[in-house]
Chain A
Amino acid sequence: MSELLRVEGVRKSFGDHVVLRQVDLAIEPGQCVVLIGASGSGKSTLLRCVNLLEVVDDGVITFDGRDITDPRVDGDEVRSRMGMVFQAYNLFPHLDVLGNVTLALRLVHGVGAAEARSRGLAMLERVGLAAKARARPDDLSGGQQQRVAIARALVANPRLMLLDEVTSALDPELVGEVLDLLGELKAEGVTMLLNTHEMGFAREVADEVCFLHDGRIHERGAPAQVLGDPQHERTRAFLSRIRA
């Protein structure tokens, strides 16, 4: 098995509302898989299921060769090997930028204060925000905050990055700086599962695009094929709506 992540037959409902019916997915190391679909199609729910923030109703998610949907698995340990970035950044407002980036290193990964600091600063350098290490999140622009959130998720070298609509809350002129950073991460071989409404970005960076509709992956394939020449009517309808 060369896959890093395999999702098989995942089902998730909230009360009577079935969000995911039967989802199958696989990601190999270094790959970038992009989920597209209408609002409420379950893209975010799928990411949260992979991160074990939601408990699936059925199905198997295998990460790094291990079934993580087994209730005997330590969810915190699994999450410590993944990085997650949220639409609304979710930075901790009571900590400065460096404090946000080094929190998990110190508390979860047992890294000493001095090393956490140097790794945190190196990571901030990497996302171009070393000068802001002592700033409070509230004093940064949206794009800067999201880059800090990416640095926070990336600093512990996760095996997989989960990115949930990371540019949806940003002003159009700030979207570029975040997407550029993600493109660089892809080039460095970071494995990513993300959902986005930025079709141009999906076309550029994705190895595979999956169209989620009615709780299933309706269509999947290379970005040029799914976005350029969709085979299913649903996919065409969705793409024409967002291009309109």
Chain B
Amino acid sequence: MTDRVSAPAPEHWEPSAAQRERDEWRRRRTLRSAAIAAISTLLLLGAIGGAVVSSPGWQRVRETYFDWDKAVSSFPAVLDGLWLNIRVMLVCWVLILVLSLTVAIVRTLRGPVAFPLRLLGTAYVDVFRGLPLLLVIFLLGFGGPALSLQGLPTSPLFWGGAALVLSYSAYVAEVFRAGIESIHPSQRLAGRALGLSYGQTLRHVVLPQAWRRVIPPLMNDLVSLQKDSGLIAVLGVTDAIRKAQIETALDFNYTPYVVAGVLFCCLTIPMARLTDRYARKKGYHGAGGHL
């Protein structure tokens, strides 16, 4: 109220007896629920753990998959391979974002002039979303170097990365398109009414809002890419999975695969938590995942 004569002194408020009793009841209920949840979780985990460890095959499983010495000895090689995965993933992700955003924008263009572009964008998405990723990797990874095209490298790493980018961009383009189309048309109208051009409206009004909405599915695709970057191992590129395979071949102990798996999880899980926190801090509506 602007017409207040004098600001009232910050009054002292004591909760009534009834309110104190309610608060106390709520507090007790919260404690009880937390205790029940904690105990039941522990019991369930204990039961699962006990059942696994006491099963007759456990000894062999442990030797084959959880051999500590093998894990330690294979760790440096697998970690070294993982560094390649990380680099592939980062470079590919940037290219994927650029390509997919371009395709998404092209697909949302209106008017007959943009028809050939829309057709191209739709055809691209249809084809590369339809093709299995492994097939694209085989096609480009083995076929690409064999062509020895002028000006293009022949390394399987390049062609494997290209396959990842082409395949993933088709998926991510659809995520972006869904985000763009979810922004209410009134936002475009408001932008155009201010005199902003189509492109300016897209850049300063539509995309910032669309971006916020698609952060969770984008993260999904990034995590997925992180794992699929291991598929280029089939081309002979020595990434974490390939390194683990080599280590395993020494004595048919599969612990190196588990090491690689744990390392992949160590990459993806903190990133998922970080994105959740980022999204919550920015107050992105509907983007704040909870643990």
- Chain A residues in contact with chain B, CB under 8 A? 9, 11, 21, 38, 57-60, 69-72, 214, 237
Contacts and interface: CB of A to CB of B under 8 A. Distances in A.
A11 B8 CA distance: 17
Given A38-B1, A214-B1, A237-B3, A9 B22 contact: no
A70 B19 contact: no
A160 B29 CA distance: 30
A1 B11 CA distance: 33
B15 A58 contact: yes
A9 B16 contact: yes
Contacts of B1: 38, 214
16 contacts: A9-B16, A21-B11, A38-B1, A57-B15, A57-B19, A58-B13, A58-B15, A58-B16, A58-B19, A59-B16, A59-B19, A60-B18, A70-B22, A71-B22, A71-B29, A214-B1
Central interface residue in B3, B13, B15, B25, by most chain A CB within 10 Å: B13
Contacts of B29: 71
Given A11-B13, A38-B1, A237-B3, A72 B25 contact: yes
B204 interface: no
Contacts of B3: 237
B16 A69 contact: no
Interface of B: 1, 3, 8, 11, 13, 15-16, 18-19, 22, 25-26, 29
Nearest to B18: A60
A54 to B, nearest CB: 14
Contacts of B22: 69-71
Contacts of B16: 9, 58-59
A72 B19 CA distance: 13
Contacts of B11: 21
A26 to B, nearest CB: 18
A27 B3 CA distance: 31
Contacts of A237: 3
A237 B16 CA distance: 33
Nearest to B14: A58
Contacts of B25: 71-72
A177 to B, nearest CB: 26
Given A71-B22, A71-B29, A214-B1, 9 more contacts: A9-B16, A21-B11, A58-B13, A58-B15, A58-B19, A59-B16, A60-B18, A69-B22, A237-B3
Nearest to B22: A71
Contacts of A58: 13, 15-16, 18-19
A58 B8 CA distance: 20
Closest 4 A/B residue pairs (Cβ): A58-B19, A71-B22, A58-B15, A71-B26
A165 B15 CA distance: 31
Nearest to B4: A214
B24 to A, nearest CB: 10
Contacts of B13: 11, 58
Nearest to A214: B1
Nearest to B20: A58
